Amino acid sequence: MQSEEQPKSRGRSALRELVETILFTLLIYFLVRFFLFENYKVVGNSMAPTLENGQFLVVNKLGYRLGEPQRGDIVVFEDPRDPERKLIKRVIGLPGEVVEIKQGGVYINDQKLNEPYTNGPGRYSVPATPIPAGQYYVLGDNRSNSSDSHSWGTLSGESIVGKAWLSYWPPHLWGIVPHEVYASIP
């Protein structure tokens, strides 16, 4: 009798371990997917030349729970005009600053911003715009082909999903997403 029950017991034990492993794997997946990281596909050319249409990225969602976005960060956020849609742009202006665009040149608190990552200045001007607390000014790197803060205003920090972190497709673009680092502007 003992020899017949041991195989049944081992079979149940193995099945239980398999179910527990699957449940634990799913739990980790959902924790990572919904709280730490998210994948994002670049749609359009508004971030060219930095990012390409069709490029796939991993977005770090945890970073801004621990700190604030910085100038030069490339962020994914909910479109202020359609929260179901997500966009990707570069943070240019921070809360408390004044952004002005003169013939495509970006000025923060009356100081011209050096922007080596763009494909050239935009073909527009924007009057001095104070950025309220909790808001950010974001622009696409392809200035003349981007719907961004120059057309719809500042972005609420609460709409920011996370910071673009890693490119994983196509293979020739594998690597860390390049973010510009700026010294503080008075």
Active-site residue, from 61, 89, 149, 163: 89
CB 103 within 8 A of CB 150: no
CB 92 within 8 A of CB 71: yes
Residue 8 token pair? 């049944």
Q: What is the DSSP letter of 72?
A: T
Q: Taking Cα atoms as reference points, which of 128, 118, 134, 167 lies closest to residue 150? A: 128
Q: Measuring CA to CA, how many Å separate 145 from each of 95, 151, 179?
A: 25, 11, 20
Residue 73 token pair? 């960060």
89 catalytic per annotation:
yes
Active-site residue, from 46, 146, 149, 159: 46
Which active-site residues does the annotation give?
46, 89
